[in-house]
Amino acid sequence: MPKKTHVQTEINGEGVEFLCEPRQSLLEVLRDELHLTGAKEGCNNGNCGACTVRLGDRIVNSCLVLGVEAEGQKIETIEGIATSEGLHPIQQKFLEHAALQCGICTPGFIVSSKALLEQNPTPSEEDIRFWLAGNLCRCTGYHKIVEAVVDAAKSMNAEVADNG
Amino acid sequence: MAENKEFKVIGTRPIRHDGIDKVTGRAAYGADIHFPDMLHGKVLRSPYAHARIKSIDISKASSHPAVKCIITSDDLPLVEDTITELGETVINLKYLSDNILASDKALYKGHPVAAVAATDPYLAEEALNMIEVDYEILEPVLDVRQAMEPGAPVLHESLKKESMGKEGDHSQNVASHSQRKNGDLEAGFAAADVIVERDFSTATIHQGYIETHNATAQYNEDGELTVWCSTQGAFGVRDQLSKILKMPVSKIKVVPMEIGGGFGGKVQVYIKPIAALLAMKTRKPVKMTMTRTEVFEGTGPAPGSYIRVKLGADNTGKITAAEAHLVFEAGAYPGSAVGAGSLCIFAPYKIDNLQIDGYDVVLNKPKSSGYRAPGAPNACFASECVIDEICQKLNMDPIEFRLINGAKEGDRRCDGPIYPKIGYLETVEAAQQHHHYAESIDQTSNGKLRGRGVASGFWMNGGGRSSVTINVNSDGRINLIEGSTDIGGTRASIAMQAAEVLGLPAEDIMPAVGDTDSVGYTGVTGGSRTTFATGIAAINAAEDIRAQMIGVAANHWELRPSDVKFKDGTFLAQKNGEALQMTFKEVAAAAGGPLVGAVTASPGGAGNGFATHIVDLEVDSETGKVDILRYTAIQDVGRAIHPSYAEGQVEGGVAQGVGWALSEGYLYNDEGHMTNASFLDYRMPTSYDLPSIETVLVEVPNPGHPYGVRGAGEVPLVPPLAAIANAVSRAIGVRMTELPMSPDRVLEAMGSI
Amino acid sequence: MALVSVPSLMQDLTAGQGQIDIEGETIREIILNFEKAFPGIKDRLCDGDRIKPFIAVYVGSELSQAGMREPVSPDSEIHFVPAISGG
């Protein structure tokens, strides 16, 4: 068995250290070593987006990133999105709009949507559908997911406006 | 949808009870489970589509230091070649067992041959490569029409054609032939002014659930087996394990984890018995998950099919005769959904003269499994396309045609039973009145060809056994334990039905899905039965609780139970001229002991479900690509308990239909290997491939349910294939009869390539 | 007296008759009387004392849940069809 590599990284705002084999993906490390099971394995080759996490300044399919690549990076997973203040508006709107059925793709969609709204606070429906095309959902037909993201954008922009 | 004033909870849209866990990543699915000393199981699968297994040598692999156990079919108990009832389905035990681990033959590429338990998943895979299997490669048969011909390679020497109880006399690949004949077909066609006859074909299709199969098993020293898994039916898994492993059901506990999609594909067991056997031999927990490739190659897809439909109609638009010939891929073992397809094919219409023949044929592909109204999407693709062509020949509006021929209460369904109250015509009328249908569609725009398609669909929906237990807490909120695993929000719709009975807000019910030790027998979450049948169990349990609480209130007031009334969540009585009342919470607090209601229901009266869909699309004549512009899906759901989740079923089914119609399908090479076994090339729709989907929920209450619920989950996948094919056909002026209508096929049809 | 619809593939035993009146208060009685009138039909419908697993029985519009014990009221229609499961 190959020798394990020691990795230091930051996950959801906390410093984290772990050991992993060079061949293990970031997804495997998150789930099997760190027990952060919110990111899911749907295909293991970057086609379904269920494993989406934020790595540095972009979102990635964590099944296509090696665990050792986390060294010195900032990572955000679904587990870091709600805070002690409560759910993120995107999470709240997903619930209100029934934008999930089995829920397996939901963590990936929420991480992806959050990245979209951080980059573009007023996306059109087309922008949303294009951005989210990397996340597969088999249950919902995407209709209520798009509605939820539109509503989340409105809600977040109103909050920003309120807070001046 | 208009707000329903008749009910307080039903028809509202509360946030689902398990929602927060699912949007925060806390919800535990089968693959999320972890035990400190667990082993990892991996499966060795046949690289050949058809081969005799001469020997399996596990000696080298067994010496691998990380390997704790290796099993083959020799380690499975011998089961009889019998057909047995397993929950709500029928199954041949020997076939089921052979599909878990192949005994004498590998019948499809991906057929499991051996399995390993090791301390590390990578090392388990290393060990798999050290297992030596001696195969005698046989010629595979990959097309059902070829499989039916004399001289085709035979999969099962013992398989003789079964024709409604009568067995054939020689080995071949046609597992069964069923037939339905009504009236006088010849006279019917003679009376027709226009006849259309077409052949259709559909590809093998996967349900495409995003979560792959998983199973973790632990065997205790007292002989108790526990299996944690994602499944559509924990009790069904328990039954299958009991029969395959020859263990009593009471020694097996199945704990259903959250499930990431099923659609019919997570009913039959694949790796669960393997995990169980490995756990029994190693006495350690054994965890197994499938890769996506294994899901494509080693689980049950929806059958590919060939269907011929011939329809005759007179000049007034009345159907005079209908004939259909359905040939479905069973896969490696008998049992495709051709029977259901045969039942559904003309179900929306009143037809006196018809004949339907259905053939279930084995071939060297994985054994087919259910996928959302199994058999009906294939069948109605064919029939609804022929209807469209008849409409074109008669120059008749397709909605008008359906109003003339649509079935209603009192008409005979083609397989015999008389329809009770149904809502098919209501869906057609709603389509006719919808603004989508009123707005015309340009024939061409920007060099693209546009077309509109209409199609209807049907599914009979199921009943079956469900159990619910309700416990009332002293603070008046109630725990509801039910046995239906929750794939689409049924936890909420079941809780809402109990809430309606008890006059409580939905938030005061805490629903949970129980394991097989904690709740009574419950059939699968599938067959569109969950909101219906488990709902009835919840209603009955709530009524029992209500009666018990009336007793508590009566006791408290020193009255007889018959003196106490219950209205809007309040208990009321008159005593000595004084009006007394207690709230639900007050009675719960006064109970002074547990209030428990447990019910098992096995309701009949599952309502037939109908839908009518309208789609506008455009075809790029240069590339053959089809873009869906607008989609309206109208469905009779009887009563929408939680409208958002009823709509969700429709929207999801439409999206699956778009994939089946335009881009999905197993591709095979000559050796019988699936060449597109990944989400890259097995192309399911993304958010960018679909527009918003408008859903109209029609409510023609089902007399068989206290609130009128009809099953809703499966009908949505039935109309889209034909609706889209009709739209493409009208856009390009050529009849499309082969699915998927991929860009190359569209260009071919247009004569461009 | 129930009206039994004979599946077309069993009509070789009933000389081509598609619908037959048969006495009986339960499915079991119906099948017994059916067999008396048309020998051989019971083996097509039953395995021993149970309806074959891949055959479903409709009494009127209702799918029977009780197998042989299913009660049959006078003027019922009975249909034997292939059993079906959902997805």
Q: Which chains pack against A, by 3+ Cβ pairs within 8 A?
A: B
Is B35's Cβ below 8 Å from some Cβ in A? no
Residue A15, classified by CB atoms within 10 Å of its CB into exposed (0-12), middle (13-18) or buried (19+), is exposed
CATH number of C58's domain: 3.10.20.30
Q: Does C1 touch chain B (CB under 8 A)?
A: no
| pLDDT of res. B268 | 92
In this structure, are residues B291 and A28 in contact, taking their beta carbons and an 8 Å threshold? no
Q: How many structural domains are present in chain A?
A: 2
Domain around A21: 5-80
From the list A59, C85, A39, C17, the residue with the least C-alpha distance to B25 is A39
**Are the beta carbons of C8 and B529 separated by less than 8 Å?**
no
Q: Do chains A and C touch (3 or more CB pairs under 8 A)?
A: no
Q: Is C81 on the interface with B (CB under 8 A)?
A: yes
Both tokens assigned to B11: 């028809």
CA torsion B110-A140-B463-B493 (nearest 10°) is: 140
Residue C53 in domain:
yes
Class of the CATH domain delimited by B33-138+211-260+266-298: alpha beta
Tell me if B652 and A101 make a contact (CB, 8 A cut-off). yes
**Which pLDDT tens digit goes with each residue over B215-230?**
999 999 999 999 999 9
A98 and A141 share a domain?
A: yes
Predicted local distance difference test score (pLDDT) of residue B80: 79
Q: Which uninterrupted H or E stretch holds A154?
A: helix A143-162
In a domain, C87, yes or no: no
Domain at A123, CATH number: 1.10.150.120
Residue B266 CB partners (closer than 8 Å, separation 6+): B209, B213, B230, B231, B232, B259
pTM of the model: 0.96
Report the complex ipTM: 0.98
Q: Helix, strand, or coil here: A128?
A: helix
CA pair distance B348, B192, nearest whole angstrom:
20
| Judgement on whether residues A97 and A49 belong to the same structural domain of the protein | no
Whether A and B touch (3+ CB pairs < 8 Å), yes or no? yes
Peptide bond just before B740 cis, omega within 30 deg: yes
The pair of three-digit structure tokens given for residue B476, joined into one six-digit string: 């008046």
pLDDT in tens, B500-559: 999 999 999 999 999 999 999 999 998 889 999 999 999 999 999 999 999 999 999 999
**In CATH terms, are B19-27+466-515+529-601 and B305-408+419-461+607-749 the same topology?**
yes
How close does chain A come to B571, measured CA to CA in Å? Answer: 33
Output the CATH code of domain B19-27+466-515+529-601.
3.30.365.10
Which of C41, C49, C75, C84 is best to mutate for the B interface (most B CBs within 10 A)? C84
Tokens of A32: 């099997």
CA distance B751 to B745: 10
Give how many domains chain C has, as a whole number: 1
**Per-residue confidence (pLDDT) for residue C86, from 0 to 100:** 61
Q: Measure the CA–CA gap between B171 and B333, rounded to whole angstroms.
A: 14
How many angstroms separate the CA of residue C83 from the nearest CA in chain B? 7
**Separation in Å, CA of B701 to nearest CA in chain C:** 16
A98 with A158, same domain?
yes
Contact indicator for B313, B390 with CB cutoff of 8 Å:
yes
Report the gap between the CA of C17 and the closest CA in chain B (Å). 12
Ranges of each domain in chain B = 19-27+466-515+529-601, 33-138+211-260+266-298, 305-408+419-461+607-749
Asked if B329 is an interface residue toward chain A (Cβ–Cβ < 8 A), one would say: no
- Last residue of some domain: A25, A46, A80? A80
Residue B1: what pLDDT? 45
Which residue of B180, B358, B373 is in closest CB contact with C87? B373
Q: Does C39 touch chain B (CB under 8 A)?
A: no
Q: Which of B12, B24, B122 to mutate to test the interface with A (most CBs of A within 10 A)?
A: B24
Measured distance CA(B476)–CA(B328) in Å, rounded: 53
The answer to the question of residue C56 being in a domain is: yes
Nearest to B32 among A37, A44, A145 (CB): A37
Assess contact for B745 and B202: CB atoms under 8 A: no
Contacting B residues, span 676-705, partner chain A, CB-CB under 8 Å: 678-680, 684, 686-690, 692-693
Nearest to B230 by CA among B194, B264, B266, B196: B266
Number of neighbours of residue C35 by Cβ within 10 angstroms? 18
Q: Which residues of chain B have pLDDT under 70?
A: 1-4, 85-89
In chain B, positions 404-443, which contact chain A (CB-CB < 8 Å)?
none
Q: Which residue of B has its CA nearest to A106?
A: B23
Parent domain of C24: 2-82
Q: Is residue C15 part of a domain?
A: yes
Residues A110 and A135 grouped into a single domain: yes
Is A103's Cβ below 8 Å from some Cβ in B? Answer: yes
Over B262-313, what HEC string results? Answer: CCCCCCCCCCHHHHHHHHHHHCCCEEEECCHHHHHHHCCCECCEEEEEEEEE
Q: Are residues A75 and A18 in the same domain?
A: yes
Cβ contact, residue pair B416, C77, below 8 Å: yes
Q: pLDDT-based confidence at A164, cuts 50/70/90?
A: low
Residues A95 and A48 reside in one and the same domain: no
Is B516 within 8 Å of B87 (Cβ atoms)?
no
Tell me the pLDDT tens digit for each residue of B124-147: 999 999 999 999 999 999 999 999
Assess A19–B contact: CB distance below 8 Å, yes or no: no
How many residues would you count in chain C?
87
Q: Which CATH class is domain B305-408+419-461+607-749?
A: alpha beta
**Does A133 touch chain B if contact means CB atoms closer than 8 Å?**
yes
Neighboring chain C residues of B166 at a CB cutoff of 8 Å: 9-10, 12, 44
CB contact under 8 A, B644 and A87: no
C47 inside domain = yes
| A77-81: average pLDDT | 98
Classify burial at B2, counting beta carbons within 10 Å of its beta carbon; exposed 0-12, middle 13-18, buried 19 or more: exposed
pLDDT at B328: 97
> Which pLDDT does position B88 carry in this prediction?
57
Which CATH number covers residue A75? 3.10.20.30
Give the residue among B736, B610, B735 at the shortest CA–CA distance from B661. Answer: B736
Cβ within 8 Å of C, B 237-296: 263-265, 267
Disruptive mutation site among B16, B205, B210 for chain A (greatest number of A CBs within 10 Å): B210
Taking an 8 Å cut-off on Cβ atoms, the answer to whether B417 and C8 are in contact is no
Given CB atoms, is C27 within the 8 Å cutoff of chain B?
Answer: no
Please report all neighbours of B, defined by 3+ CB atom pairs within 8 A.
Answer: A, C
